[in-house]
Structure 1
């Protein structure tokens, strides 16, 4: 693994500095005040160009955010301008290099995300959650156990993000109507279950997609290696939750007195029964085809993008047919739609579009139309007023499509591409090779236990310091690639090699439940939804509770993985 690259070169140092700066901005986002002079000149320029309308009120104070998108983007631009990286690095970070194809990975991720979120918009996950509550009865511990198992199953099938989106708001509502003053046990167990379960299928987490691409892992091979470690973690974490962290009756009451009307009305949560059936069948068929074709070299995006387009077309047709029905009947609000199958109608504890709201909502479906004369009568026509008019018209005509689109993790796309570019920059400047040398020395000294335990530990920690688990996985996957390509010592041992790869898979998923909210985008999303529901989780509380959960899950999963690689490669 010897190299002539000098990491003491100014370009290498600059790339490392801006990589660390980007990660720091993810962990500690800041807002920089924009001077009033710049704001006023920018406003005047936009008015002169006809982009926005002139205003008489004084400009409000504005801030420029340095966050998980702007900081990596700024870093890439500075590195390009300075010559520390070139266009080839940017191209490899987007198109792909070393077996990792970011475009394919993101196409697969966003298409599966659309399928999962659209299915969730039908109310299916909430309907199933209420069904679990109904079966749980009045026993607090039985209900807790049922919901823990339910979130594990859902996390395996649809991934952690849909479970976080729907499950968090559902639990906020459930604990409120059941009289549970402190929802800590319920929200933390759901967060742990969702992030542990997302390790099982390649499609359940973008970090898994990065790994499968980097090491050419088929879906069946990946799942075969991860299923037993996951089961070990899920089983071992349960007593930690119910007998250790949350044994107080204030957290998990002995009995729960739930209003019977809440469960009796659970049928209202399934707002689109036909859509739920169609979406479930489409998602299951898609996952089955992914598994079946993963061994014959079919690009994964070719399997997932067509079903996502089919689901989009189905949602569009659903919205258009409802609009035509409403206009034909002269109805202006969704309450008049008969049958309770309108996805914009949510009676009781259900959600609507955009941000999840577990409450009664009544959103107008068809608003009055706009005319150019009306707009011109109120204010000059500008790009912003035109965009607002047509955006509003589209959202009222296609509310389901709009709601799903708003919940898609679109912000993950630029973030992931920028992190791919920065890691590619580290690689071209020699930093990845340095890390690979350190890793090789560690594994050569400790062996299989060091490969599995060390990579699992490093992955969990790096999730908190490398711009979420996405950044950690991209970097560590490249380190393992370089280590394996060196072809000496323990890198030739299939136990150490395979153990390190799947330990990274475990650590990149479990790392979300370790130290900080920013260890994963799911953690940031989870905190935001809870804040909207009036539930505030302190950073130290997050660390204190999740650390024990993650430690237990990682130790047990690593032990299972060690035994697994010795059994699989018993002759090596």
Structure 2
């Protein structure tokens, strides 16, 4: 196929896939359009079968890792981990909205980092809503915190986000080295978000409260789930140190919790399969093929011309800003798929700067990340409406306030720790 026609067709298919993912007509999965679109790119000669297969092979291990983490998070919920979190938040907040916001920030940050952003969006958000309602406080600040932290707090570990898994593979870093370099940016970004939230929602957090319901009785800690998660994290570190893919540790943890649920008849084999979100995994693979077609037909060359060169602070700021803008234009997953091949040759610093941009930047718009779209759908299902204007105003404050100091923190980490 001639290049101009291939460019138009690949961009059109990518736009259609993303619009479908945002709108999800009649609740149909994202893969319903993405998989046929990927097939069309190959059938029409927009991308060669070799390039398409190469992209599937590149994403295959990452998608397998994601599936295991999703199963692990789901069965942590089955064990009662998130119910216990809700009870703890209510007791610790003691009827004060500001303390509840602090508790939400702390829990959402840890859950996002350890169990991935999907756990925060799908499992923690309804718990936060129920807790705020029981306490008699306004839910909006705490719900928005879940949305923002599902993105921002996913910076810490390779397992926290699909974008991290892709960056981890491209960076060449070990699991522990990745976490060490991202620890300071993670803390700085979360702190900046917290300060913005305190200011933005000052009136709601200071509003007088009705008499709240009594704090719930302590829920027993699901020790089996906690120990399994702890062992899985340790497994990531050990596996990375000895040259084994961390996906095997994730699979082991998922099998332990899923096996326990099956033995206790709290799940069926079909439940286990569904918890891995196979339709979403197919969407990721198909999206990768469509994005590869766009990259092969001009986007890579255009971005290469505007990507800054060098390894200094200004370069990292430029890379992160470009990644943030691109994430809001075409969604953060396609953005990271496009940018990583272009920055991997510049070293881990550039790759991690891309990650800061595609993880913090999406808090500006609904369409910036699939996690935010999913969060909006869950909140609406529970009877709460979120306004586009308010979400964007909050993002205009929070994104630069978190992104700029996080990049500076990354530069400091690279300077002190080296790569």
The normalised TM-score by structure 2 is: 0.90
> 1:453 & 1:473 partners in 2: Cα distance?
16
Residue 300 in structure 1 maps to residue 246 in structure 2: yes
**Equivalent residue in structure 1 for 2:213, among 247, 259, 274:** 259
**CA RMSD of superposed structures (Å):** 2.8
In the superposition, relative to structure 1, how do residues 310 and 425 fare at CA in structure 2: closer, same or farther (>3 Å)? same
| Greater share of residues in helix | 2
Pair 1:211-2:167 in alignment? yes
Aligned to 2:36: 74
Aligned position for 2:90: 133
Residue 61 (structure 2) pairs with residue 104 (structure 1): yes
Cα deviation digits, residues 395-424 of structure 1 (max 9, x gap) = xxx46x655654543332112111222333
Look up the SS of the partner of 1:198 in the other structure.
helix
* Contact 1:459-1:472 at 8 Å conserved across structures: yes
SS in 2 for 1:294: helix
Q: In the alignment, which of 473, 487, 495 is matched to residue 336 of structure 2?
A: 473
1:75-474 superposed matches below 5 A: 75-96=37-58, 102-180=59-137, 182-242=138-198, 244-248=199-203, 250-253=204-207, 255=209, 257-260=211-214, 263-264=216-217, 267=219, 276-319=222-265, 398=267, 405-429=273-297, 431-439=299-307, 442-443=308-309, 448-466=312-330, 468-474=331-337
Q: Give 1:27 deviation, angstroms.
A: 4.5
Alignment of 1:525-564 (within 5 A): 525-564=374-413
Task: Tell me how far apart the structure 1 counterparts of residues 246 and 3 of structure 2 sit (CA, whole Å).
Answer: 34
Moved more, 140-149 or 285-294: 140-149
Check 1:403–1:176 CA distance in 2 against 1; reply closer, same or farther (3 A cut): farther
Native 8 Å contact 2:104 2:128 kept in 1: no
Q: 1:309 to 1:232 in 2, by over 3 A?
A: same
- The one-character-per-residue Cα deviations of 1:142-190 (angstroms, maximum 9, x if unpaired) are 232222222222222212111111221122222323333x422111122
- The SS at the match of 1:13 is helix
Check the 8 A contact 2:151/2:363 in 1, yes or no.
yes
C-alpha deviation, 1:428, in angstroms: 4.3
Name the CA shift for 1:297/1:258 in 2 (closer, same or farther; >3 Å). Answer: same
Larger radius of gyration: 1
- The residue aligned with 1:522 is 371
Take 1:312 and 1:81, find their aligned partners in 2: how far apart are those partners?
A: 39
| Separation of aligned partners in 1, 2:21 and 2:306 | 33
Residues 1:27 and 1:302: Cα distance change in structure 2 (over 3 Å): closer
In structure 2, the gaps of 5 or more residues are none
Q: CA deviation at 1:434?
A: 4.4
Partner of residue 500 from structure 1, selected from 350, 357, 376: 350
2:107 & 2:39 partners in 1: Cα distance?
45
Structure 1 143/13 Cα, relative in aligned 2: closer, same or farther at 3 Å?
same
Q: Retained in 1: the 8 A contact 2:11–2:294?
A: no
Residues 14 and 79 of structure 1 are in contact (CA less than 8 Å); yes or no, is this contact kept in structure 2? no
Q: Which whole-Å CA distance do the structure 1 matches of 2:417 and 2:124 have between them?
A: 37
Relative contact order, higher structure (CA 8 A, sep 6+) = 2
Change (3 A) 1:406 1:546: farther
When residues 462 and 310 of structure 1 are mapped into structure 2, their CA distance, relative to the original with a 3 A threshold, is: same
Aligned to 1:335: none
